[in-house]
Amino acid sequence: MKKRIVALLMCTAMVTSMIVGCGSGSSDSSSDASSSDDSAATTEDSGEAKDISDCTFAIVPKSAGNPFNEAEAKGFQEAIEAAGAECIVSYPEQATADAQITVLQSLISQGVDSISVAANDENALQATLQQAMDAGIKVSCFDSKTNADSRQVFVNQADTELIGQTLMDAVYDITGGEGQWAILSATSQAANQNAWIEAMQNVMEGDEKYANLELVDIVYGDDEPQPSTEQTQALLQNYPDLKLICAPTTVGINAAAKVLQDQNSDVKITGLGMPSEMEAYVGEDNVCPYFYLWNPIDLGELAAYTAMALVSGDITGAAGDTFDAGDMENSPYTVVDASDGGTEIILGEPFEFNPDNIAEWADVF
Please give the residue ranges that form the binding site for other proteins (CB under 8 A): 1-8, 10-11, 13-15, 17-19, 21-22, 25-26, 28-30, 32-33, 36, 39, 64, 88, 90-94, 96-99, 101-103, 105-106, 108-111, 120-124, 126-128, 147, 187-189, 194, 218
What is the smallest separation between the CB atom of 217 and other proteins, expressed in angstroms? 12
Nearer to other proteins, 24 or 264 (CB): 24
Nearest to 125 by CA among 159, 158, 92, 161: 92
The amino acid sitting at 230 is E
Residue 153 main-chain phi, psi, to 5 deg = -160, 155
Question: In this structure, are residues 316 and 129 in contact, taking their beta carbons and an 8 Å threshold?
Answer: no
Nearer to other proteins, 112 or 171 (CB): 112
How many other CB atoms sit within 10 Å of the CB of residue 314? Answer: 15
What is the smallest separation between the CB atom of 37 and other proteins, expressed in angstroms? 9
**Which residues are within 8 A (CB) of 44 and not within 5 positions of it... i.e. 6 or more apart?**
none
What is the smallest separation between the CB atom of 238 and other proteins, expressed in angstroms? 18
What is the smallest separation between the CB atom of 147 and other proteins, expressed in angstroms? 8
Nearer to other proteins, 5 or 284 (CB): 5
Nearer to other proteins, 2 or 205 (CB): 2
Question: In this structure, are residues 142 and 300 in contact, taking their beta carbons and an 8 Å threshold?
Answer: yes
How many other CB atoms sit within 10 Å of the CB of residue 228? Answer: 27
What is the smallest separation between the CB atom of 85 and other proteins, expressed in angstroms? 15
Q: CA dihedral in degrees (337, 271, 211, 215; nearest 10)?
A: -110
Nearer to other proteins, 28 or 266 (CB): 28
What is the smallest separation between the CB atom of 198 and other proteins, expressed in angstroms? 10
Compute the distance between CA of residue 79 and CA of residue 52 in angstroms, rounded to an integer.
12
Compute the distance between CA of residue 244 and CA of residue 270 in angstroms, rounded to an integer.
8
Nearer to other proteins, 94 or 357 (CB): 94
What is the smallest separation between the CB atom of 206 and other proteins, expressed in angstroms? 20
Nearer to other proteins, 117 or 259 (CB): 117
> 318 burial class (0-12, 13-18, 19+ CB within 10 angstroms)?
exposed
Nearer to other proteins, 131 or 276 (CB): 131
> 65 burial class (0-12, 13-18, 19+ CB within 10 angstroms)?
exposed
**Which residues are within 8 A (CB) of 249 and not within 5 positions of it... i.e. 6 or more apart?**
184, 185, 186, 190, 193, 221, 223, 271, 272
Nearer to other proteins, 103 or 163 (CB): 103
Residue 215 main-chain phi, psi, to 5 deg = -80, 105
What is the smallest separation between the CB atom of 345 and other proteins, expressed in angstroms? 25
Q: Are strands 322-323 and 242-247 parallel, antiparallel or unpaired?
A: unpaired
What is the smallest separation between the CB atom of 294 and other proteins, expressed in angstroms? 24
